[in-house]
Amino acid sequence: MAVQISNTPNPNALKFTVGVDVGDPATFVAGAEIDDPTAASLVAIEGVTSVFMTADFVTLSKTPDASWEAIAPLATELLEERFGA
């Protein structure tokens, strides 16, 4: 399954459905120590402020001035590599 991107009620958050279990619910924020390599890679994308992972999806939040056009393709590529979508 290819990664599917969905809008959320928050314009600064997007939901990336990967189609496989990503593990127990976990939230990772920029500036904190992150022990999950996937979350660390996603937070390293310029403009990403947090990563929430649960069930079969990952939700990214960004700064208001960051662009989804720049973030979404990078995040999709990382998620497809990690989860084999």
Closest CA to 46 of 64, 60, 31, 62: 62
Mean pLDDT of 51-73: 98
Q: What is the CATH number of the domain that holds 70?
A: 3.30.1370.70
pLDDT of residue 1: 67
Q: In what order do the strands lie in the sheet with 4-7?
A: 4-7, 13-17, 57-62, 48-54, 26-29
Mean pLDDT of 23-43: 96
pTM of the model: 0.95
In the chain, how many domains are there? 1
Q: In DSSP terms, which residues pair with 50 in a beta bridge?
A: 29, 61
Q: How confident is the model at residue 84 (pLDDT cuts 50, 70, 90)?
A: confident
Angle at 10 between CA 82 and CA 26, to 5 degrees: 40
Domain that holds residue 46: 4-83
